Structure 1
Amino acid sequence: MRILALVPGGISEQILFFPTIATLKAEYPQATIDVIVEPRAKSAYRVCAQVNEVLAFDYRDRNGLADFLNLLGVIRDREYEAVLTVARQWTIELLLWLNGIPQRVGYQSSAGFFLSATVPFKPDQYVPFLFHDLTQGFGINRPCPPLQISLPKADIEWMEATQKKLDLGSGGYVVLNGGAIRQPDTGISLIPLPNGMKSLQTLSKNNRG
């Protein structure tokens, strides 16, 4: 089985989509999973071992007919059996319908008739949960798994060398991504500012303890 995911947005959105990919891989262990993301976000998949191929398409650009026809050809050449799309654009949904992909899953919208299954769009919940809702369109009934990444060996070696250089010892570490409070591409809130501040205060308190 070959599955395609269309995920607009930056690196943050891609990382928050990883639990959805993990669920698809758990449900379909032999499946090949590809993604179509914006060029600026391709590097996110260096830390996602479950994705086979990362293709690029600028969802934010003023794409003309030639751009959509090119994307149509790219998708058709790979003969996908299923697709899920985070993009809520009727043009994208039409393109997937024209490709004849049997399973086409997306969010409920006015153009939902181009999709074979839709799920409610609930933007007020934690973003990984919002993305993970799309798996329900495949009849999957699994909880959203924790977000996990697979660091390349070279990155781990760089981190260890940097720790040693800065004399940070061998203890644990925390990586923070400042990110935007509200992503301009999707209008989805990531972490409300008060919640983020509370998390930082808890981390600081635990570290002192």
Structure 2
Amino acid sequence: MAAVAGVHASLLLTSPIVSNNPKISPSFYSSNAHKHNLTKFFTPNSDSGKGNGNGCHLRAIKAKKNPWLDPFDYGEDPDMEYGELFADGKQDAEYPRPPDNPDSEYGFLKFPKGYNVEIASLGAMLRGDVRVCVCMVAGGVYENLLFFPVIQLLRDRYPGVRIDMIATARGKQTYEMNKNVRYANVYDVEKEFVVPADYMEAVGMLKNRYYDLVISTKLAGLGHSIFMFLTSARTKISYVYPNVNAAGAGLFLTEALKAPQLDLADGGYNMYKELIEQLAQPGRNVPRQPVPPLRISISRKLREVVETKYKDAGLMKGEFLVIHGIESDSAATMQSRGDCDSLLPIKFWADLSRSLRSVKVLFIIPHERERENIMEAVGEDSYIVFITTPGQLAALINDSIGVVATNTAAIQLANALDKPSVALFSSIKKAKLFIPNATEKRCTIIASETGKLADINMEDAKVAIKDVFEKSMVAA
């Protein structure tokens, strides 16, 4: 026992943990000696009156790290954002797949997508990494435009994710204003009777791209949920019907979001609220993802094309006011499915434009046959531009002083570009639904008192336009 005690004492003397006090001896641990040596850790408080009642402070001895315990412990990593574990935090922006080396002496070896299990499966199972994602959006230009915050949310939550879109022919045009989208394919998920060849082609295309996440805004029943199940994606998220039509759909989906109404477009600007709530959920050491605002990007090619159009009409950049929302039977009106009463006849716009003297008014027509009607109602010297795509409309709004429109995509594009606008709505309820926080978005709301857009007060619209645009032109 004496030999063991001697070895224990020698270890205490040589250990760096207690090396700050070289006077400690084995007798310190004897019966009552250590009680008297505790006074060495107390020093009189001579500088200030702080401390305990005896005027003493407890002096802590900082233990030094023993390099023999962990030679690879270099302290805290200043660049570590989420945590030490692999399962913590977000995924890396770089794709985990190693680059192919065709010059290797062992030949050109390439793993098929989805089969490089040694690298891909760990992050996918522990963190739920999403490397490739596809979103199927139902509706036209307006509905796809309001989906842009969801796309940006996916990019922020899953760094490096590649996002593809499935939309209608009109909805596909919207994604030329979104730099986060890789591919945009045309397939109408709401079509009731699909040709079997088109159905199998869509399934094969989705299956061959090995998606980790599939999102759908179509209200899914049993048929659409099976369509998503056939893509072989790991995670499948979709809205389902709020009634009995959703029976059996949840069996083939990872997450089934019950729609608040039969048409999501009735929810206005926040029509994808339930989907955003699902995607923004916090993870391991990852806080809840904030919802980004609606933003768009306009390419240089679009700017050049649109600049040629309005210059041919006799206008220059920054001197015209855009008017959008002319009543027409064209499919390019860009109105929302949640607000069918959102177009006004040419006579209304003609009377409104006559009251604007210091501002040049540019009429946007969705079809060439409307040109003659406007020239008859307004005059031969009116400014008219034919535009059918949302990208060209956004480039035109970007070069204007502002927008006067009904509830069409032009209002949302003006808000995304921080342009002043005057919005005409059939009711104040619709206005608050589609343009929340209108004051922050520099948008003036003019609503009808009867619930019909045709009964909107012309004088209120004229006063609002003069206050917003004519005064700014005089100041400029």
CA shift, 1:180, in A, is 6.4
1:12-40, Cα deviation, whole Å (9 max, x unpaired): 22112111111111111200000111123
**Aligned residue number for residue 208 of structure 1:** 470
| Amino acid in the other structure paired with 2:197 | A
**C-alpha distance in 2 between matches for 1:177 and 1:5:** 29
Task: Report the more deviating stretch, 33-42 or 199-208.
Answer: 199-208
Note if contact 2:132-2:212 (Cα within 8 Å) is conserved in structure 1: yes
* Deviation larger for 133-142 or 71-80: 133-142
Corresponding residue for residue 318 of structure 2: 170
Question: What is aligned with 1:35?
Answer: 165
Q: Contact between 1:181 and 1:193, CA under 8 Å: does it hold in 2?
A: no
Query: 1:142 offset after TM fit, Å?
Result: 3.8
* 2:180 match: 50
Aligned mates of 2:219, 2:180 — CA distance in 1: 24
**Aligned pairs for 1:1-209 within 5 A:** 1-59=131-189, 60=191, 62-90=193-221, 91-109=223-241, 110=246, 111-122=249-260, 123=264, 124-127=266-269, 129-140=270-281, 141-164=288-311, 166-170=314-318, 176=324, 179=333, 183=337, 188-189=338-339, 191=407, 193-195=426-428, 198=446, 201=461, 202-209=464-471
The two structures, once aligned, show a CA RMSD in angstroms of 2.9
Query: CA shift at 1:11, angstroms?
Result: 1.8
CA shift for structure 1 position 132: 4.7
The separation in 2 between residues aligned to 1:20 and 1:101, in whole angstroms, is 19
Write the distance in 2 (CA, Å) between the matches of 1:138 and 1:81.
14
The structure whose residues are more often helix, as a share, is 1
- Quote the Cα distance in structure 2 between the aligned partners of 1:131 and 1:104: 16
TM-score normalised according to structure 2 size: 0.38
Conserved in 2, the CA contact under 8 Å of 1:121 and 1:130?
A: no
**CA shift in 2, pair 1:163/1:96, >3 Å:** same
**Structure 2 counterpart SS, 1:205:** helix
* Structure label with greater radius of gyration: 2
**Alignment CA distance shift 1:83-1:194 (3 Å):** same
- 3-state DSSP of counterpart to 1:207: helix
Are the counterparts in 1 of residues 149 and 292 from structure 2 also a CA contact under 8 Å? yes
Checking the alignment, whether the CA contact within 8 Å between 2:177 and 2:297 is kept in structure 1 is: yes
- CA spacing shift, 1:170–1:88, aligned 2, 3 Å: same
Counterpart-to-counterpart distance in 1, 2:142 and 2:153: 19
Structure number with higher relative contact order (C-alpha < 8 Å, ≥ 6 residues apart): 1
Q: CA deviation at 1:169?
A: 4.8
- What is the distance in 1 between the residues matched to 2:292 and 2:204? 33
Q: Which runs of 5+ in 1 are unaligned?
A: none
CA deviation string 1:40-73 (max 9, x = no partner): 3322211111100011113325214433222111
Does the aligned pair in 1 maintain the 2:142–2:336 contact within 8 Å?
Answer: no
User: 2:427 is matched by which residue type in structure 1?
Assistant: P
Q: SS of the counterpart of 2:230? A: helix
Matched to 1:107, the amino acid is Y
**What is the distance in 2 between the residues matched to 1:204 and 1:118?**
48
Distance 1:181 1:99, change over 3 A: closer
**How many residue pairs end up in the alignment?**
204
Distance 1:17 1:88, change over 3 A: same
Task: Flag the 1:181–1:174 CA change in 2: closer, same or farther, 3 A.
Answer: closer
Deviation at 1:171, TM superposition (A): 5.3
SS in 2 for 1:99: coil
